Structure 1
Amino acid sequence: MDKNWDEGLADDDPELLDEKRSQLFTRDASLFVIDAAAGMQEYPPSQDPNDRIDEEMPLLHRTFDAILRCLKRKAFNSSDDLVGVIIYNTEETKPDKEGSDVKEHVYCLQPIEQLNGNNIRNLKKLVDGSRADPELLSRKFKPAVFENNRTSMPIGNLYISCNRFFRNNPQTKNASKRIFHITCNDEPQKNAPEDWLTASRTNASDLLESEIIIEPFFIAPSSSNFDIKTSFDVKKFYAQILPKKENNEDVTDPSMGEGFAKFDNLEEKLRKLEIPKRTSFTHMFELGDNFSISVKGYRTVVDQKFFPYVMVAENKKGELEQTEKETRLQDESKFTLNEITPSEIKQGFVLGDKSSDGALVVSTFLSTVRRLLHFADTIIRTFDLPVGLKLLGFQDIDTLSPLHNVGTASFIYPTEDLIEGSTRTFSALLKSCLKLKKLALVRTVMRKNAAPIISALLPQEEVIDSDDGSQITPNGFYLIPLPFADDLRSVPQIENMKANDEQTEAAGRWLKKLRKKSGYDPKEYENPYFRLLRRNIESQALDEPLDENDVKNDKTLPPIEQMKDRAGGLIDEWKSTLGWDVVKVDPEVEEAKLADVKPNKRKIDATLDNDVDDSAFIQKWRANQLDKCRLDDLKNFCRSHGLKVQGRKSDLIERISAKLESSYGK
């Protein structure tokens, strides 16, 4: 551990530290930088060149297709983010709409701006067109030809252009900035002057100083033969120029791997990085007296909420526009409508009768009382403890139960923003906990005016993919909130019947057949409501027909037919051990039974007298007293004369009156 971790920070202004602690990026600005050299546009070998599948398309086409899917997901997950797409190593040079001074052979396909339907539609049109026309990409992004058999423009000039794209765009000022560099050329500066390497390293460092992170996507180039396996060697060039993300020599940078063996890995990594790991909090972690480090926390799971809807109306041109809501206060004395400003709205309560003119409305007193109660309540709830984490001790990892997690866990990682040397100290603590198989107990106050809770710091070791060097799981601690004694509930004592060995073995056989070996992976199961809603919105926004499979393909429904094929007989055997009768249903027999079933007709009470004396009804009819008859008598009269018996009593009287009038006159 570095003994001088706090050197030079004793005189820091506390106000500046607080400002730095609360500074969080609210948007993400991503710039896709795609190589358009000949290696990205070459067609790999195919068994049927006239009918190629996606894996047999050029890397440039597949890259655009992957970015298109990324933008579609971003449109729903983080629609406020900024996205841009530039191509380099093209013969044509094109700046963005801001007029940025870009270097030669840099082509701006889409400027850095908020996601919108037009950009996604244009990119989709490009992807669909390149699938139908194999020469479209090579015509639109014609690869540049360089001197001395060089294969690329200076990478330093590329990074200068990227820096200018961000710098000249005012929307990226308060956004987290990232560059997704996609290429299959592992030696772009071959046959180039030696000072190009130094310039590229300097310009890459300038991006890091400008808080622009480079996310490299190194793809193994396409092979000219099915039997030849290609690879991307980062040691030839990019390992020498790209800066490390952390000031920790013990931690390897997963982006400096051996390159992607398959293109599918690019889409997987892109899915992980397309939504930035936005910080939920930045706190001080007190390890002892006058000994603290700074950490950042990230939320691992966030419940997806329903999309907020807006009211729209059709304008004169037939376009849908969002309607604006306006609230006005009616002044009865002047009979005018005055717009209410937020400063004019106050909270209060009414004393006395609301309907009387002498009711007293109190508003200023309420805010004063609220401040007093809020201050007293804060002291009781927080015990006047500072915001942050404090180490209490350690215990064995085996003592932590999954039932102890009473809230959403966060993932914490060190940061050098507040205290220099936090990364090295944090790394030493993590390695010690992993070695000793211990977890840390900490007292946490997550935010101002929040109650303190006891949490567990569960260590996690970093896992690196041996094939491409990408990071599978990061190294750090999970911050798990633990329950207090008042939060514990006792489980009710329930005595169930115990199964015998035969029943247990029979159940184990069909359970083994239906067991999902890979376990539950949340990435495989989309919320069916949100999935269908996204596809409906996407089909309308991009003018795409809604595929029937999008409606039927719900992975949350159990595959009944597959389950019957795999374990149907074993389930019947298990039922027989339980004494259940296994009834085999023949569909043809059941249909025949249903066909023989006749609808039930309403039976008429045989006790009803069909011979009704009309004289009694005639007498009451002439005296306008039919309403005094019972409902059953009226219905019996209607049945005997073939009249309808449905309806209210007044309807029956009307029918009987018409019948008597037609038979006996007035």
Structure 2
Amino acid sequence: MPTVKREDIVYRDRYELKEAILFMVELTDAMYEPSEELQGEAPLREILKAINGVMADLAISLPTTGIGCYFFNSKNTTKGCKDGIYRYFSMKSVNVQVNKKINDDLSDTDPENKEGVELKEKFPMINYSTPAEFEKNRTSLNNVLYQIKSEFIFKTENAKRYNYKKVFFITHNDKPYDTTSPDAGDVKKSIKASLDDLYNAKINFVTFLLNKSHTETFDKTQYSELIYLTSDNSSVKSEDQLREDGDYYGINVEAMSIKEINQRIHRRSEVKRVNFNCLLEIGKDLMIEVKGYSLFSEAEPKKPSVVYNKAEVPKTVLRASKFFTEGSAKAISDSKEDIISAYQFGDDLIYLNKKQISQIKCLDQENGEIRHEGKLSIIGFRRISKTLNYQYNMGKSSFIHVETKGNYTNTFKVFSCLFQSCCQMDRAAIVWGVTRRDSYPNLYALVPSTYQGLSEGFVSNKHLQGFFLIPLPYEDSIRGVPPSLKPIAIPDVLTDSATRWLNKFKLKDGYVPSNYSNPSLQWHYKVLRDEALLVDVPEYLDDRVENFNEEQMKEYIRFDKNSIKLEKYHNASMKPDRAEAIQGFKSILAKISD
């Protein structure tokens, strides 16, 4: 299959991610009414909790993310906004002030707070007595979309600052415009044109269409027409385009229950992190462009900044380094250009500039010129069962999908053919190369993401159809394991006990890392957040224990005491006279098992 030859490739830095999320929430009567699905909680309070939770998560993973929130159909109008649009907080990076504002509002509107205020009083909506009056006074969807464009397109600082923009549009109202109005056709055309403007500006418009109750579902007819169709002089989006949009940009008109809003908002706020873009050479003169996404990333507690606190405003302290020659205490005053890289070769030094160092790393050259981007080449295929040996794990895997907006034609079809062929023949593609410039080449296996031999619970319909790029070791990197090991005799009693204990901890759907928070990381940021919000920090008990009733607290204390006894008996069992300690150890284990 021929491809367009690619010339004068310009390297683009796509790895620095600056995300912005704008919440647009429509105020309706259903937002204030207690919901049975939320155990009497009002949907608007649930939305505020979800926003608060997203901000807490982003403070850990992506602290530079911008967050903004607007309410429309509001009785209050913020200066500079269209009628009925209230700016709850403007677009800015995750910060303590906004977090405190939401916490205070949640506390003030808590039904159990006798000194609090009504939710409708805190966030008043437009006045109306009839459906016709509501249509007259409501905020038009055109004005809402204009506000979104004003925030993301017209504001130059936001347009340049953020390269990944999302709008979370939350509503109970399934009638975005009055279809009985004489100018309904013009209104519909105008709304679709505004949505096209957002799409062309690469602004991800994510809808959260909420059912009014568990018996009254959301009618998605009008939103389906508005979102899935482009302007009237265009045709319906192609199947490939819809697939790309749905997978990466969150287009969805399916109605949801209000109890799902928290989970959905958290999932949609997760960023598909693009680690690299590179070429994939399938055969001679047959190349496509692919992009690699990070599957998992480990967040770590943030190190404190060093600041100078004697000034009027605390200022960050900048650190500088000095260079010294060996055996000298005097700093080198020459420019950095005079300090170069060198390799020891016997008694001599080989001096290299930056270009020569890049040439050492780069094995792939065309006409003597170094490639300035990554490239992977398929060198063969192998049965997946023989390729994947988990004891040969060499590092993190990436998820590979096609880059449909690159410089090659028919990339999706070529990628699809490769994927289907590997699935049908149960083969993995063995590739060699680099994923980004100035990196050392490595050997990888391209394994279809739907391969059932991967970890149970990991591969499911949640994953897109694509490939996992799994690093493979070289032969001399594989540890030599003896061909046969002498079996160790284990008493049946211990085997049965271990089986019972392990079965209690078996995960039904496999291990999904996103479902299990790092406790030390959560505690680190909880202390920081509580200190910033002037909340008392518990010295010992965690959130779960704070909510225990009397019986649960007794059980917790009993278990904690047993843990202390276990440690004491364990230490005693290390001594020569250990019979009594071992007996006590067994009795405590029996109590816990019961």
Give the TM-score band, short-chain normalised: 0.7 to 0.9
Deviation at 1:268, TM superposition (A): 1.8
The question of 1:165 aligning with 2:147 is answered no
Question: Which residue of 180, 186, 196 maps to 2:174?
Answer: 186
Question: Which residue of 109, 119, 123 maps to 1:136?
Answer: 119
String of CA shifts for 1:43-86, please: whole Å, max 9, x gaps.
Answer: 3359xxxxxxx532221221111101111221222221111101
Contact 1:94 1:106 in 2 (8 A): yes
Contact 1:89 1:153 in 2 (8 A): yes
Give the equivalent residue in structure 2 for 1:372. 352
Give the equivalent residue in structure 2 for 1:583. 583
- CA gap of 1:260–1:138, structure 2 versus 1, over 3 A, is farther
SS of residue paired to 2:288: strand
Partner amino acid for 2:148?
C
**Counterpart Cα distance in 2 of 1:367 and 1:257:** 54
Partner amino acid for 1:446?
T
Contact 1:105 1:144 in 2 (8 A): no
Deviation at 1:507, TM superposition (A): 4.8
**Counterpart Cα distance in 1 of 2:335 and 2:110:** 70
Deviation at 1:418, TM superposition (A): 2.0
Partner amino acid for 1:309?
P
SS of residue paired to 2:146: helix
**Counterpart Cα distance in 1 of 2:152 and 2:146:** 10
Question: Which residue of 2, 11, 18 maps to 2:10?
Answer: 18
**Counterpart Cα distance in 2 of 1:323 and 1:41:** 44
Partner amino acid for 2:529?
E
Give the equivalent residue in structure 2 for 1:62. 46
Contact 2:206 2:252 in 1 (8 A): no
String of CA shifts for 1:345-372, please: whole Å, max 9, x gaps.
Answer: 885735xx63799x99997654275862
- CA gap of 1:544–1:365, structure 2 versus 1, over 3 A, is closer
Contact 1:94 1:107 in 2 (8 A): yes
- CA gap of 1:425–1:217, structure 2 versus 1, over 3 A, is farther
Deviation at 1:311, TM superposition (A): 3.1
Deviation at 1:323, TM superposition (A): 4.8
**Counterpart Cα distance in 1 of 2:417 and 2:149:** 36
Residues 532-611 of structure 1 correspond to what in structure 2 (within 5 A)?
A: 532-547=523-538, 549-550=541-542, 561=559, 583=583
**Counterpart Cα distance in 2 of 1:92 and 1:440:** 60
- CA gap of 1:434–1:66, structure 2 versus 1, over 3 A, is same
String of CA shifts for 1:418-450, please: whole Å, max 9, x gaps.
Answer: 224323432333233333332222113122232
Partner amino acid for 2:362?
T
Deviation at 1:551, TM superposition (A): 7.1
- CA gap of 1:279–1:266, structure 2 versus 1, over 3 A, is same
Deviation at 1:309, TM superposition (A): 0.8
TM-score (norm 1): 0.67
SS of residue paired to 1:489: coil
**Counterpart Cα distance in 2 of 1:360 and 1:82:** 42
Partner amino acid for 1:477?
F
- CA gap of 1:480–1:207, structure 2 versus 1, over 3 A, is same
- CA gap of 1:495–1:346, structure 2 versus 1, over 3 A, is same
Partner amino acid for 1:215?
V
**Counterpart Cα distance in 1 of 2:361 and 2:48:** 53
**Counterpart Cα distance in 2 of 1:142 and 1:274:** 27
Question: Which residue of 401, 410, 419 maps to 1:430?
Answer: 419
Deviation at 1:406, TM superposition (A): 0.3
The question of 1:497 aligning with 2:488 is answered yes
The question of 1:87 aligning with 2:71 is answered yes
SS of residue paired to 1:444: strand
Contact 1:34 1:87 in 2 (8 A): yes
Deviation at 1:310, TM superposition (A): 1.8
Give the equivalent residue in structure 2 for 1:29. 20
Deviation at 1:509, TM superposition (A): 4.6
Partner amino acid for 2:394?
V
**Counterpart Cα distance in 2 of 1:511 and 1:528:** 22
Deviation at 1:207, TM superposition (A): 0.3
String of CA shifts for 1:331-389, please: whole Å, max 9, x gaps.
Answer: xxxxxxxxxxxxxx885735xx63799x9999765427586276555545432354222
**Counterpart Cα distance in 2 of 1:201 and 1:480:** 43
Residues 267-666 of structure 1 correspond to what in structure 2 (within 5 A)?
A: 267-312=262-307, 321-325=314-318, 349=325, 354=328, 366-367=339-340, 372=352, 378-385=358-365, 386=371, 387-399=374-386, 400-419=388-407, 420-461=409-450, 472-492=462-482, 494-499=485-490, 504=495, 507-547=498-538, 549-550=541-542, 561=559, 583=583
**Counterpart Cα distance in 2 of 1:272 and 1:354:** 57
Give the equivalent residue in structure 2 for 1:150. 135
Contact 2:60 2:299 in 1 (8 A): no
Contact 1:348 1:364 in 2 (8 A): no
**Counterpart Cα distance in 2 of 1:519 and 1:60:** 34
Rg bigger for which structure? 1
Equivalent residues, number: 516
Contact 2:14 2:274 in 1 (8 A): no
SS of residue paired to 1:280: strand
Partner amino acid for 1:393?
G
- CA gap of 1:435–1:200, structure 2 versus 1, over 3 A, is farther
- CA gap of 1:444–1:264, structure 2 versus 1, over 3 A, is farther
- CA gap of 1:517–1:139, structure 2 versus 1, over 3 A, is closer
**Counterpart Cα distance in 2 of 1:204 and 1:383:** 46
Partner amino acid for 2:402?
P
Deviation at 1:276, TM superposition (A): 2.0
Question: Which residue of 218, 224, 247 maps to 1:238?
Answer: 224
- CA gap of 1:181–1:428, structure 2 versus 1, over 3 A, is farther
**Counterpart Cα distance in 2 of 1:220 and 1:306:** 39
The question of 1:124 aligning with 2:106 is answered no
Contact 1:197 1:241 in 2 (8 A): no
Contact 2:280 2:376 in 1 (8 A): yes
Partner amino acid for 2:10?
D
Deviation at 1:408, TM superposition (A): 0.9
Give the equivalent residue in structure 1 for 2:569. none
String of CA shifts for 1:476-509, please: whole Å, max 9, x gaps.
Answer: 2111111011111112564242347776556545
Partner amino acid for 1:150?
E
Segments of structure 1 that go 5 or more residues without pairing to the other structure are: 47-53, 224-228, 328-344, 464-469, 565-579, 589-666
**Counterpart Cα distance in 2 of 1:109 and 1:532:** 29
**Counterpart Cα distance in 2 of 1:362 and 1:83:** 43
Q: CA RMSD in A?
A: 4.1
Deviation at 1:530, TM superposition (A): 1.7
**Counterpart Cα distance in 1 of 2:90 and 2:427:** 50
String of CA shifts for 1:3-51, please: whole Å, max 9, x gaps.
Answer: 7874xxx5x762xx424x32444311111111112232233359xxxxx
Residues 90-109 of structure 1 correspond to what in structure 2 (within 5 A)?
A: 90-95=74-79, 99=80, 102-109=81-88
Contact 1:411 1:479 in 2 (8 A): yes
Contact 1:59 1:222 in 2 (8 A): no
SS of residue paired to 1:218: strand
The percent identity for this pair of structures is: 21
**Counterpart Cα distance in 2 of 1:480 and 1:378:** 25
**Counterpart Cα distance in 1 of 2:280 and 2:585:** 66
Deviation at 1:220, TM superposition (A): 1.9
Deviation at 1:550, TM superposition (A): 2.4
- CA gap of 1:403–1:201, structure 2 versus 1, over 3 A, is farther
Partner amino acid for 1:540?
E
